[in-house]
Structure 1
Amino acid sequence: MSEIKHDVSGLPPVPLPDGTQSDTIGATGRRRPKWLLPLAGAGLAVLLVAGGLGGYTVWSNHELAVAKTACAEASDRVRVAANRYNTLLDGEAAGLAKVKTSQVKDAKTIGTLVDRINEKTPDYEGCVADRKPDLDAAAAKLDKQADWYGKHTKSLKTAVKAVRDSKLAKTIDTANTLLKDSDGKVADGKTRDELAKAIRAKDETAIATASRKVTDSIDAKRKADEDARAKAEAEAQAAAQAAAAQQAAQASQSYSGGGYSYTGGGYANSGYSGGYSGGYSSSGGSTGGYTGGGTSSGGNTGSSATIAPPISGGHGCSSNCGTDDGWYHH
């Protein structure tokens, strides 16, 4: 059977769903509905929007990740800067802040250091946001905090150095005074040589050690001098006492005790330097008359006295002789 072909070119257009008629002819010569193109365009638009949304999401997630990384890096910079600052603050700065004004050459340096120590540090917040704008703001704030720590670490170092240098200058001045005043006053001169060497080196630790040695040497010499002086005084006192005792012994040897003795018709005095001698004689009867006399010499220079004879007339004394005449009677 032969194929039957239908000619539809003369047929009217096919009505569209909205009641309109399509006059579009396809590649095959057939007409397309007018609603097909808008529908395809809408589908394409949906696809484009969906693709755009997906692309934006990918891009947004990427930007968020970049912001988080930047904030984390800023946080690390703050942490490092803060640790460096706090190490200096809690270490050497805190130690030098306790130095007394009398220990430094310029007291103002301590006041400046204390002011630097008391400065308020920034409040750390970190990267806790979950949106890119907030993370960017946090990173910017952290960068400023890192700059603050860097700046104040530098100013704190300057203040610390000023106190340290002022303290060293005062130490050197004090050491120079000690070196000058100790000349000839130490038991060991080598201690002063060590101190002079430490001063030239500007070594504060060595100066302190050498200064203690010089001070100890001064004390040792002072004690030795005091002991020698006390010994000399004791020896001088002992010598004086010995001399006084010797003089007293010599004086006692030049004196001996004695009294009066009766010899024959008179009395003789012995035992005293210069002595005394005298004699008496008597003659006559029983009347008791007597003749005689006596002289005394010695004792008192340039004088003499006549001594009366005994009232017994030279014949001894009986029981009726007086006892208050100052003579020794037999």
Structure 2
Amino acid sequence: MTKPSEEVETMDDATPEESKPKGIKPAKLTAIIIAVVVVALAGIGGGYAYWTHHEGNAYHEAVAQAENADKALSKAVDEATATTYKADQLKEPKLLDKLDDAIRKAKALKGIPEDRPGEWLAWRLASARKANATDADEANAQAKALDAALKAVRDSKLAKELDTAKDQLRQGIDGAGQTLRDTDGKVADNATRDSLTKAIDEANSTLSKKGVTDPKTYTDAKAKLDAAVRQVTDSKAAKEQADAEAAAQAQAQAQAAAQSQRSYSQSYNRYGGSGSGYSSNRGYSAPQQSYTAPQQSYSGGSSGGSSLADLIGAASSGNTNEKSTGNYAPIEH
């Protein structure tokens, strides 16, 4: 009879190797764990690498967009500040305040952040991407607001220029019409008045146009109208000058004729005219002297004096019994 131990040994020895229970050796388990860890680390590293690569590309794209937006904003600021606008140049002066405010806000933007993250720091790349994207959005929005404010100011300035040019043309038409009325029959060349009439008609046609956007449309019509007015006024001045010269010439001729008449009259008086000391028949006339008979008192029957009848009788008989010492001319019968 065999011993129990012997029976067991006999049985172990007789059992096939394939039917024995299998187990994992420690060395093999360690290898498996190491492989799992490597695979896990590889997966994590690959995911991080992909994330880093993605954020890096996005960051560089955001930087480019921010740079372009900042350049556009800087250009808009330069354009807005290149021209100085005044309130009296605008139809709506308050728009100038809005433009100044837009310029101030545009200049206050900080721009692109200067710090640049490392290429393998994914979280910093993501943060920088967001900062640049925000900067680009702000710059684009402010540039848009600045352009709108600048356009509003320019449009208001244009509207004021259009109104001014249109008013000046209207005033020019009124003045030209008055010139036309005041120069009727007073110009050297009436064709100038015909040209002015045509210019007035054309100016009125321009004034009634719709949708005029260029002040030059009105200023050109005004310049043409002014030129026609100058032609009329020049023609009027030429006629006035011609009339003045004709009047002066007529006056000079009249003065010359009067001078000639005076010279002829003086010559006639000197050589046979009715001047003093000469008669018209060139005869000589003795100077005329007056005689006054002496007054004598007469008393009838007195022997001391002569009577008037005696004197007359004596004169008739040629007697000269006078007591007067003056000469006298003989009395003609």
Distance 1:258 1:159, change over 3 A: same
Asked whether 1:75 is paired with 2:63, we answer yes
Amino acid at match of 1:271: G
Asked whether 1:110 is paired with 2:112, we answer no
Query: Equivalent residue for 2:274?
Result: 272
Counterparts of 1:72-151 in structure 2, within 5 Å, are 72-91=60-79, 93-94=80-81, 97-118=83-104, 119-120=106-107, 121-125=109-113, 128-129=116-117, 130=119, 131-151=121-141
Q: State the 1:50 CA deviation.
A: 1.1
Output the TM-score relative to the length of structure 1. Answer: 0.61
Counterparts of 1:286-305 in structure 2, within 5 Å, are 293-294=286-287
Give distance in 2, aligned partners of 1:99 and 1:258.
88
The one of the two structures with greater contact order (alpha-carbon pairs below 8 A, sep at least 6) is: 2
Query: Equivalent residue for 1:290?
Result: none
CA contact (8 A) 1:199 1:207 kept: no
Q: State the 1:152 CA deviation.
A: 1.2
Give distance in 1, aligned partners of 2:166 and 2:240.
30
Query: Equivalent residue for 1:157?
Result: 147
Q: State the 1:223 CA deviation.
A: 4.5
Residues 5-28 of structure 1: per-residue CA shift (max 9 Å, x gap): xx99639xxxxxxxxxxxxx9855
Residues 274-296 of structure 1: per-residue CA shift (max 9 Å, x gap): 9843645xxxxxxxxxxxx445x
Residues 145-186 of structure 1: per-residue CA shift (max 9 Å, x gap): 122122212211221222122212211221222122212538
Distance 1:245 1:210, change over 3 A: same
CA contact (8 A) 2:70 2:111 kept: no
Amino acid at match of 1:10: E
Amino acid at match of 1:59: G
Query: Equivalent residue for 1:204?
Result: 215
Structure 2 alignment gaps of length 5 or more? 1-5, 11-15, 180-195, 291-333
Query: Equivalent residue for 2:43?
Result: 55
Counterparts of 1:147-226 in structure 2, within 5 Å, are 147-183=137-173, 184-185=175-176, 187=196, 188-189=199-200, 192-193=203-204, 195-196=206-207, 200-226=211-237
Query: Equivalent residue for 1:266?
Result: none
Give distance in 2, aligned partners of 1:198 and 1:42.
97
Give distance in 2, aligned partners of 1:8 and 1:160.
111
Counterparts of 1:216-255 in structure 2, within 5 Å, are 216-255=227-266
Query: Equivalent residue for 2:9?
Result: 10
CA contact (8 A) 2:51 2:122 kept: yes
CA contact (8 A) 1:191 1:217 kept: no
RMSD, aligned α-carbons? 3.8
Give distance in 2, aligned partners of 1:190 and 1:205.
18
Q: State the 1:44 CA deviation.
A: 1.8
Amino acid at match of 1:250: Q
Q: Which moved more, 1:240-249 or 1:50-59?
A: 240-249
Amino acid at match of 1:69: N
Q: Segments of 4+ in structure 1 off by > 6 A?
A: none
Considering fraction of residues, name the structure with more strand. 1
Q: State the 1:59 CA deviation.
A: 0.6
Query: Equivalent residue for 2:309?
Result: none
CA contact (8 A) 1:179 1:195 kept: no
Amino acid at match of 1:256: S
How many matched pairs?
A: 253
Structure 1 alignment gaps of length 5 or more? 1-6, 12-24, 261-269, 281-292, 296-304, 307-330
CA contact (8 A) 2:89 2:160 kept: yes
Considering fraction of residues, name the structure with more helix. 2
CA contact (8 A) 1:75 1:127 kept: no
CA contact (8 A) 2:162 2:214 kept: no
Distance 1:279 1:228, change over 3 A: closer
Structure 2 residue aligned with 1:42, among 30, 33, 49?
30
Q: Which moved more, 1:249-258 or 1:40-49?
A: 249-258
Q: State the 1:40 CA deviation.
A: 3.1
Q: State the 1:69 CA deviation.
A: 2.1
Distance 1:211 1:52, change over 3 A: farther
Q: State the 1:211 CA deviation.
A: 4.3
Counterparts of 1:20-35 in structure 2, within 5 Å, are 27-29=18-20
Residues 104-163 of structure 1: per-residue CA shift (max 9 Å, x gap): 223333343244234314322479322211111111111211221222122112212221
Identity rate of aligned residues, in percent? 23
Query: Equivalent residue for 2:13?
Result: none
CA contact (8 A) 2:98 2:149 kept: yes
SS at match of 1:123: coil
